[in-house]
Structure 1
Amino acid sequence: MNSEIPVVAIDGPVGSGKGTISRALARSLKWNLLDSGALYRLVALNLIKKNVSIHDSTAVTEIAAEMDISFSEACEEEKTFLDGSDVTLDIRTPECANKASEIASMPALRSVLLTRQRKFLREPGLVADGRDMGSVIFPYASLKVFLTASVEERASRRYNQLKQKGINVSLPDLSRELVLRDERDVNRKIAPLRPAKDARICDSTKLNPEDVVITILHWLQEKGFA
C-alpha cells in the first residue's frame, strides 16, 4: 500500500448518499473512484447467474478472484461491466444488494476483495466508498468520513434511486430490508459497520449532495489537500 497517495474514505449505511457524494467528489478532485459495494454486488450477481450457494465458500472466493470487471471513470456516466457486459442495473436490484450484504462478512471473500480494492489506489488520489474503507481497507486515509442519515430519508433516497433506474420496488418493503441490512452490517463479527475512530461524521438527512461535497472539500483543505 502506498500511503503517499491521498485517500478520502467515505463509509456509511445504505442510502446515506455515499455513492452520489463519492462520485461527485472524485469528479471535483479529478481523482480515481472505488465503489467497493459494487465489487460485492458483482460477486452476488455472479452467484445468482450461476446458481451458486452463498454457503459454498470455495466457489464464492473463486468467482471473486476470477471475475472480469471494469468501471467507468468518475467523470463519465456510471457504468459497471462484468465479463464485458453492462450490468449497471443488474447489480442494483434489491435481490442482488441483499445477497451482497449476506456474503460481505465471509473472511475468505473479504481477503480476495481487499486485494482488488487496494489496486484502485493510483495517482493523483482516490475516493473510496464503502462500509469499512477507513477502518480496514485504507486505515491510513488522508480523510475519513462517515455519512449517515435517518432511516426514513435513506429509504426514500433508495426508493427514488431504484425507480429512476426502472426497478420496481415497494417503499415499505425497502424500509424493512434497509433496517435488516443495517442490523446485519452493524452486528457482523468481521468489520462491522461503524465510524473509524478518527472519522468526521456527516449527517446528510437535511443536506443536498452539493452541500455535503462542499463540507468534505473544506475538511480536505484543512488537511492541506484540494
Structure 2
Amino acid sequence: MNSHTQPINIAIDGPAGAGKSTVARLVAKSLQYIYVDTGAMYRAVTFKVLEAGLSVEDEAGIAHLTETLDIILRPGEQAQQVFVNSEEVSAKLRTLDINRNVSYIARIEAVRTKMADLQRQMSLAKGVVMDGRDIGTHVLPNAELKVFLTASARERATRRFKELGDDAGITLEQLEQEITTRDRLDQEREIAPLICAADARLIDSTSQTIDEVAKQIVQWGLAIARTISTGGK
C-alpha cells in the first residue's frame, strides 16, 4: 500500500464456512496489512477445553482455564500460526470435535471478553484485517470498513466438506445440518451475537470466487483509505 495512505482497520464478519479467513488473508496480503484470525483464537480455547476434559457446560471451569491461556498469532508462510502458552497448535484446530464445540465455548462471556480485549489490542496501530462473527458490531465497531460475508448453507457445507478431505467421517448433508445449527447458536447467543452491522457492506459469495470477493474488499479499502488520507476530498 502507498506509504502516504492512512492505514485503516477492516472487519469481516459472517457465518461459518463463508470464506472469511481465506478472504481476509488475501486482503491483508494485498494491502500489506496484518491479518488477525479471531476464529482461530476461539478454536484455540476450545482445543484446550477439550484437551483438559472440561464439559462445554462448565462455564466457571472454562472461564478459569481461559485466564491461564496466552494466545499469540504469528504470520506463517502458508497460514497464520497459532500459539497457546508457547505451543503451536495451528494444525490441531480444524477437527470435527472443535467444529462441533467452538460455538458453545464462544457463547461464554468470560471467553468473549478476554478474546475481544486481545483483538482490540492487536488493532490499535491500524492496518489490520480481522475476521470473525462480531468484529464490526462488538470488537471493532469503529472499523473504517465493515464487510458481512455470507453464502448459502449448502455452499458453505460443500466448502467445509472439501476442506476436511476424504477422511472427514461425516456426510455433506450432516455437515450442512451442523453448519445450520452453528448459525443458530451464533445468532442466538446473548453475548455479541452474529449480526450484520448496520453500516457493513454485504457480499454473498455463493456464486463468487474467493479472489473476486477479496478484490472487491481491497478496492473498497483503498478508496476509504485514500478518502481519509486526503481529508475527505
The two structures have a TM-score, normalised by structure 1, of: 0.90
1:186 is matched with which residue? 187
1:102 is matched with which residue? 104
Return the match for 1:151 from 150, 153, 169.
153
The whole-number CA distance in structure 1 between the counterparts of 2:139 and 2:35 is 14
- CA 1:74–1:225 in 2, change beyond 3 Å: closer, same or farther? farther
1:61 is matched with which residue? 63
The whole-number CA distance in structure 2 between the counterparts of 1:225 and 1:66 is 42
Q: Once the 2 structures are TM-superposed, how far is the Cα of residue 73 of structure 1 from its aligned partner?
A: 1.1
Q: Once the 2 structures are TM-superposed, how far is the Cα of residue 124 of structure 1 from its aligned partner?
A: 5.1
Moved more, 60-69 or 205-214: 60-69
Moved more, 8-17 or 110-119: 110-119
Structure 2 gaps, min length 5: 1-5, 228-233
Q: Once the 2 structures are TM-superposed, how far is the Cα of residue 72 of structure 1 from its aligned partner?
A: 2.9
The whole-number CA distance in structure 1 between the counterparts of 2:191 and 2:79 is 33
- What stretches of structure 1 move > 4 A for 4+ residues in a row? none
Q: Secondary structure at the match of 2:90?
A: coil
Moved more, 181-190 or 42-51: 181-190
Alignment of 1:1-226 (within 5 A): 6-73=8-75, 76-123=78-125, 125-163=127-165, 167-225=168-226
The whole-number CA distance in structure 2 between the counterparts of 1:222 and 1:5 is 11
Q: Secondary structure at the match of 1:202?
A: strand
Contact residue 27 and residue 74 of structure 1 kept, 8 A: no
The whole-number CA distance in structure 1 between the counterparts of 2:164 and 2:32 is 27
2:230 is matched with which residue? none
Contact residue 23 and residue 214 of structure 2 kept, 8 A: yes
Structure 1 gaps, min length 5: none
Percent identity of equivalent pairs: 35
Q: Secondary structure at the match of 2:192?
A: coil
Amino acid at match of 2:133: R
* Cα shift readout 1:84-109 (whole Å, capped 9, x = no counterpart): 33322321112112211012121222
* Cα shift readout 1:101-138 (whole Å, capped 9, x = no counterpart): 01212122211221111121154510010000000000
The whole-number CA distance in structure 2 between the counterparts of 1:161 and 1:72 is 22
Contact residue 7 and residue 225 of structure 2 kept, 8 A: no
Contact residue 155 and residue 171 of structure 1 kept, 8 A: yes
The whole-number CA distance in structure 2 between the counterparts of 1:11 and 1:60 is 25
Q: Once the 2 structures are TM-superposed, how far is the Cα of residue 65 of structure 1 from its aligned partner?
A: 2.3
The whole-number CA distance in structure 2 between the counterparts of 1:126 and 1:75 is 18
The two structures have a TM-score, normalised by structure 2, of: 0.87
Contact residue 161 and residue 172 of structure 2 kept, 8 A: yes
The whole-number CA distance in structure 2 between the counterparts of 1:134 and 1:74 is 25
The whole-number CA distance in structure 2 between the counterparts of 1:15 and 1:61 is 27
Whose radius of gyration is greater, 1 or 2? 2
- CA 1:202–1:120 in 2, change beyond 3 Å: closer, same or farther? same
Q: How many residues align?
A: 222
Q: Once the 2 structures are TM-superposed, how far is the Cα of residue 154 of structure 1 from its aligned partner?
A: 0.5
Contact residue 5 and residue 122 of structure 1 kept, 8 A: no
Q: Once the 2 structures are TM-superposed, how far is the Cα of residue 34 of structure 1 from its aligned partner?
A: 1.3
The whole-number CA distance in structure 1 between the counterparts of 2:202 and 2:89 is 32
